[in-house]
């Protein structure tokens, strides 16, 4: 693509593509995708885009901006990278280089996180004025799109637009073409100060260099040691979660992180336990603001990486304090298993605690005993007659096709469209994933689905019929516009048909 722009500091890839469309005067979103990526199906993702190899190729003449640099300097990837496992970080970067099909968001845990990314555009009007004065144009800065943190470190709360970038899957909106309104915040000055702290730390996270991520075990050790360093430990391993909550609750400024003390699985308790999943950047920053506010993010990450497995052993002199209670516990467990199966026995009063004790202290015996006494699983019977379902769905599809043959209007009758017209007894998702078991239905779908040529011809026919009824005459370009047939997408057969309509018929 000619005249492809060079990214500004902290500019999002989304903004870069939008500016490329403005510079080249491209109004069609699909044409812009074709020019930049060579693929008309790319989704306009504002935070974790894919196909970055195409962007790097557009910037090859600059001698900079390889894929890794684009990921770490022009996407929201850095706020996830330090908190996920190294294998996930590497695989996510590989997916972002080419087509990811939405896998990057799932791998990094963005959809499942309690800290959600806003669907609406955000902007700092003062920053926009400074951008125009310095560069002559404005752009979307990634520092405006921190999840649940609508704050500019230099100018305060951001402005928010009612427009969502999900409204159009393929459209890239330029910064100066979106109207935004001030973000409403009723909090006091203390909350604004906390916003400023979180924004400063988030900016440090965003500007960390590409590096290996700490493991979840290292994060577990870090928070365990952090609690003990500040007097929030119990014994040699446990954490006093009530003391931790007293320190952290006053630092929470976003409603997503509100702690329900009645639940033993709230995020604050979980982050100080063994890490079985990654936590959001905002959860980490909130805890850091309560315990180690003066420590830089780089120092914290370095400290986390220095954590190694530490084995704590009790002195042998204390062995006599805890007599061997295994036989008594085993007897109690045998009595419970005599009353109910294993899973139900764990739900009986005292059963869960007994099972946990045996699992920690007498695991070999427990697993061997349960293996002998587990209930026998029954062979799963075949529940679906796929042959009968195949015939039934094919008959339904033929009725749908017969009904649609009498109607000229409507969207393209693709394979997915036809599947969605079937009865609600069988969901679209379950049928579309089992087409390999439905050969008759698959054959009928391939036979009766509408091709792009047929769809363009039907659109043209709809326009011609409508104009013939009103008696109005139209030229070639008017027919193309009314039928939504852009010049660069019209197929040769349809072009010939259009020429016949405009020259060989009454429409001129």
**Best CA proximity match to 88, nearest among 285, 277, 297:** 277
pLDDT at 184 over 90: no
pLDDT at 115 over 50: yes
Ordered by start, the domain boundaries in the chain are: 13-76+117-182, 195-305, 324-370, 388-450, 453-504
17 touches 139 (CB < 8 A): no
Tokens of 496: 């010939």
pTM of the model: 0.64
pLDDT at 208 over 50: yes
pLDDT at 180 over 90: no
Q: Which helix (H) or strand (E) holds 398?
A: helix 386-404
CA angle 203, 204, 206 (to 5 degrees): 60
Count H helices and E strands in the chain, helices first. 24, 7
pLDDT at 338 over 50: yes
Mean pLDDT, all residues of the chain: 84
pLDDT at position 214: 93
pLDDT at position 497: 79
pLDDT digits (tens, 9 = 90+) for 19-36: 999 988 888 889 999 999
Tokens of 413: 């009758």
pLDDT at 253 over 80: yes
pLDDT at 364 over 60: yes
For residue 245, what are the contacts with CB-CB under 8 A and spacing of at least 6?
259, 261, 268
pLDDT at position 439: 92
358-387 residues labelled b (16+ CB within 10 A) or e (exposed): beeebeeebeebbeeeeeeeeeeeeeeeee
* Rounded-to-integer distance, Cα 289 and Cα 239, Å: 19
* 172/1: higher pLDDT: 172
The H-assigned helical ranges of 143-230 are: 189-206, 216-229
Other CB atoms within a 10 A radius of the CB of residue 164 amount to 11
* Rounded-to-integer distance, Cα 464 and Cα 472, Å: 10
CA angle 101, 106, 110 (to 5 degrees): 125
Q: What is the DSSP letter of 189?
A: H
Beta-bridged to residue 234, according to DSSP, are 238
* Rounded-to-integer distance, Cα 414 and Cα 454, Å: 11
Beta-bridged to residue 122, according to DSSP, are 160
The dihedral built from the CA positions of residue 268, 271, 274 and 276, taken in this order, carries a sign that is positive
In the Cβ-directed half-sphere of 273, how many Cα atoms lie within 13 Å?
10
Query: What residue ranges in 42-137 does DSSP mark as E strands?
Result: 120-123
Q: Exposed/middle/buried for 223, CB within 10 Å: 0-12, 13-18, 19+?
A: buried
434 touches 487 (CB < 8 A): no
pLDDT at 316 over 50: no
CA angle 307, 312, 316 (to 5 degrees): 160
What is the bridge-based pairing of β-strands 159-164 and 156-157?
unpaired
Q: Which helix (H) or strand (E) holds 181?
A: strand 181-182
Mean pLDDT of 404-427: 83
Q: Which of 390-394, 430-434, 492-496 is the most confident on average?
A: 390-394
248 touches 286 (CB < 8 A): yes
* Rounded-to-integer distance, Cα 87 and Cα 390, Å: 42
* Rounded-to-integer distance, Cα 240 and Cα 244, Å: 7
**Best CA proximity match to 137, nearest among 3, 2, 22:** 22
* Rounded-to-integer distance, Cα 191 and Cα 151, Å: 12
* Rounded-to-integer distance, Cα 3 and Cα 16, Å: 12
pLDDT at position 55: 93
* Rounded-to-integer distance, Cα 7 and Cα 141, Å: 11
pLDDT at position 202: 93
Confidence of residue 131 (pLDDT cuts 50, 70, 90): very high
3-state secondary structure 245-266: HHHHHHHCCCHHHCCCCCCCCC
Of 182-186, 200-204, 369-373, 388-392, the one with minimum mean pLDDT is 182-186
pLDDT digits (tens, 9 = 90+) for 231-243: 888 877 788 888 8
pLDDT digits (tens, 9 = 90+) for 431-485: 888 888 889 999 999 999 988 888 888 888 888 888 777 777 777 777 877 877 7
Mean pLDDT of 74-86: 94
pLDDT at position 471: 72
Percent of the chain beyond pLDDT 90? 31
């Amino acid at each position: 693509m000619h005249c492809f722009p060079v990214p500004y500091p902290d500019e999002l890839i989304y903004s870069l593509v939008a500016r490329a469309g403005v510079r080249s005067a491209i109004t069609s979103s699909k044409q812009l995708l074709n020019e930049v990526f060579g693929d008309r199906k790319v989704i306009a993702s504002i935070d974790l885009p894919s196909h970055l190899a195409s962007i790097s190729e557009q910037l090859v003449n600059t001698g900079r901006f390889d894929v890794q640099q684009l990921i770490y300097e022009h996407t929201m990837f850095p706020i996830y990278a330090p908190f996920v496992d190294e294998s996930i970080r590497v695989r996510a970067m590989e997916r972002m280089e080419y087509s990811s099909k939405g896998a990057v968001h799932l791998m990094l845990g963005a959809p499942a996180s309690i800290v959600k990314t806003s669907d609406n555009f955000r902007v700092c009007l003062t920053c926009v004025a400074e951008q125009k004065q310095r560069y002559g144009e404005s752009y979307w800065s990634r520092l405006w799109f921190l999840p649940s943190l609508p704050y500019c470190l230099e100018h305060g709360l951001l402005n928010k637009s009612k427009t969502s970038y999900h409204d159009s899957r393929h459209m890239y909106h330029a910064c100066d073409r979106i109207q935004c309104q001030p973000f409403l915040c009723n909090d006091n000055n203390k909350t604004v100060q906390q916003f400023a702290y979180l924004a400063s730390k988030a900016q440090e996270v965003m500007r960390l260099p590409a590096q290996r991520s700490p493991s979840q075990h290292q994060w577990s050790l870090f928070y365990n040691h952090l609690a003990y360093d500040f007097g929030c430990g119990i014994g040699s391993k446990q954490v006093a979660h009530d003391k931790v909550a007293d320190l952290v609750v006053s630092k929470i400024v976003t409603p997503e992180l509100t702690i329900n003390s009645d639940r033993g699985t709230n995020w604050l308790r979980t982050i100080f336990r063994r890490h079985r999943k990654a936590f959001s950047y905002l959860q980490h920053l909130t805890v850091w603001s309560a315990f180690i506010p003066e420590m830089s993010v780089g120092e914290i990450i370095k400290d986390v990486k220095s954590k190694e497995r530490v084995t704590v052993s009790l002195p042998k002199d204390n062995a006599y304090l805890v007599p061997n209670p295994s036989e008594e516990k085993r007897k109690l467990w045998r009595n419970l298993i005599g009353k109910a199966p294993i899973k139900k026995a764990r739900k009986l009063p005292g059963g869960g605690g007994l099972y946990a004790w045996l699992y920690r202290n007498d695991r070999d015996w427990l697993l061997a005993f349960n293996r002998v006494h587990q209930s026998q699983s029954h062979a799963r019977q075949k529940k679906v007659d796929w042959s009968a379902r195949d015939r039934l769905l094919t008959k339904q599809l033929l009725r749908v096709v017969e009904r649609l043959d009498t109607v000229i209007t409507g969207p393209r009758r693709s394979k997915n469209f036809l599947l969605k017209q079937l009865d609600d007894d069988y969901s679209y998702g379950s049928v579309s994933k089992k087409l390999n078991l439905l050969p008759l239905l698959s054959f009928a779908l391939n036979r009766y689905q509408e091709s792009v040529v047929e769809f363009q011809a039907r659109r043209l026919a709809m326009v011609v019929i409508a104009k013939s009824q009103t008696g109005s005459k139209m030229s070639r370009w008017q027919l193309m516009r009314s039928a939504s047939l852009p010049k660069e997408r019209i197929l040769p057969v349809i072009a010939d048909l259009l020429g016949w309509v405009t020259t060989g018929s009454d429409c001129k």
